Amino acid sequence: MDQSSIDALRTQEIAPRGHFINGRFQDGENGAQHQVYSPINGQPLALIAEGSAADVDAAVRVARVSFEDGRWSRMAPAGRKKVLLKLADLIEARALEIAVLGVRDNGTEINMAYKAEALSAAATFRYYAEAIDKLYGQIAPTGDDVLGLIHHAPVGVVGAIVPWNFPLMIGSWKIAPALAAGNSVVLKPAESASLSLLKIAELAAEAGVPDGVFNVVTGRGSVVGEALALSMDVDILVFTGSGATGRRLLEYSARSNLKRCYLELGGKSPNIVFADAPDLAEAAKVSAAGIFRNSGQVCVAGSRLLVQEEIYEDFLSEITRHAAAFRVGDPLDLNSQIGAVHSLSELESNLDFVTKAQAEGADLRTGGSRILTETGGYYMAPTVMAGVKETDTLFQNEVFGPVLAVTPFKDEEEAIGLANATVYGLAGGVWTSNLGRAHRMVAGVRAGVVHVNTYGGADLTVPLGGVRQSGNGHDKSLHALEKYFDLKTAWIKL
């Protein structure tokens, strides 16, 4: 990856894109289009189809046909494996092109996007392709006169709704295991960040995924997402996004066919630093990256920093230094360490949180403002707010931006109490040299993943999922396959 290659790709014209239904791009039922703007400069970037309920119905209909006729669902697992491995190879071969395309509409810095989006997607398809022909059913422990077999059967049509922050990575976490298991998929990407997933749909067809098995309908959540969730012919719904939207999806499930809903709803993750951390300088460096990379637009971002009292001021100074030193700028510049906030509305929301925090008594140590306004893009300085109290808005609410809330604590008991003092439970971190304390904190912090002496970096071998109002179900690992299968029992009299 070099700057000249990136610069050549950044100016490529993007032709208007329709939905991807039944193996080809096609205009929507009403021909409407949605203007996508680039967070890099605030300028128009591309036109994509503005989906309708009729478009969703068309995609679900072909997905159902493709599932029932068995062109994919009854293909031998080794056959699906071969196709998905080819798709992984195609993604990897065009990784830079795909990464640049995604950065242009979502603003993630290219150094992160190349690995976390394009190469990660290739690895995810490869992982589930390799796994699918190695899963076995079970034989029940019955008497000699009966044979009990437990089969894994694909559920049918999977509806997937994914966000704008890592559309390709998160999309692949859902698409790859769903396809590997033999299901057909209708995907709804974020209307502001659809381009990389439309490219993946095109490559899937090239790899040999049969027509109708993988479909993409673009458009607004209030129309396309709602229609997908209300469909009587979608068997399960998988979603990553806000809690408010997740609640609506559950309502739509109840109003329609009681489809199972698996929801990842974000978090307000605590990152807890004890005075006996093995390397406080390293803890500060990693913790800063854990909140400020991708402008804080990461579901598991360590957005609440809890620091033991005896090191509070020194550690606060160190992490403030790191925050102020980050190079924020054009996300397609290899020298930029942090890219753009995804949209103007997100930027304004971030700034409102800073204003509210100051009004509630928090101390602004660095950042807190929009920067690089001359570019026309949406950039915000990494922000550190000290002295944030448990009752403060910034302590309780997910910002989804480069804003860190810092709070002191006395001991383990108070740290666990503060860590669990929000409605969320997605991730957390603990820094300590005490092995017993590390285990106690992992047990005590209510979260789907707890990092110890690091923050982030958990790979495909382990699941990611939340507890409490951070959602249910899991992406990543072999456990992710479970939701894409139904268990079917065969009870056979011998």
Tokens 């753009």 -> residue: 340
What CA–CA distance (Å, rounded) separates 197 from 91?
Answer: 11
Quickly list DSSP for 139-190: E----TTEEEEEEEEE-SEEEEE--SSSHHHHHHHHHHHHHHTT-EEEEE--
Please give the Cα distance from 388 to 279 (Å, whole number): 24
Q: What are phi and psi of 384, to 5 degrees?
A: -120, 120
- Residue 118 one-letter amino acid: A
For residue 229, report the phi and psi dihedrals to the nearest 5 degrees: -70, -30
Catalytic position from the list 50, 109, 264, 398: 264
Residues 211 and 205 sit within 8 Å (Cβ to Cβ): yes
Helices vs. strands in the chain: H and E counts, helices first? 16, 21
**Could you confirm whether 251 is annotated as catalytic?**
no
341: its two tokens: 């906030």
Name the helix (H) or strand (E) containing 67.
helix 53-68
The catalytic position among 109, 117, 261, 299 is 299
Q: Give the residue from 67, 169, 36, 162 showing the smallest Cα distance to 112.
A: 169
- The phi, psi pair for 412, rounded to 5°, reads -55, -45
Q: Which tokens hold the place of 416?
A: 């666990």
Q: How far apart are CA 218 and CA 228, in angstroms?
A: 11
Per-residue DSSP letter, 409: E
Q: Are strands 383-386 and 363-366 parallel, antiparallel or unpaired?
A: antiparallel
Residue 201 contacts residue 189 (beta carbons within 8 Å):
no
CB 447 within 8 A of CB 236: no
CA-wise closest residue to 421 among 435, 440, 405? 405
Asked if 261 is an active-site residue, the reply is no
CA distances in angstroms from 420 to 9, 441, 467, listed in the order given: 45, 11, 11
Which positions are catalytic? 264, 299
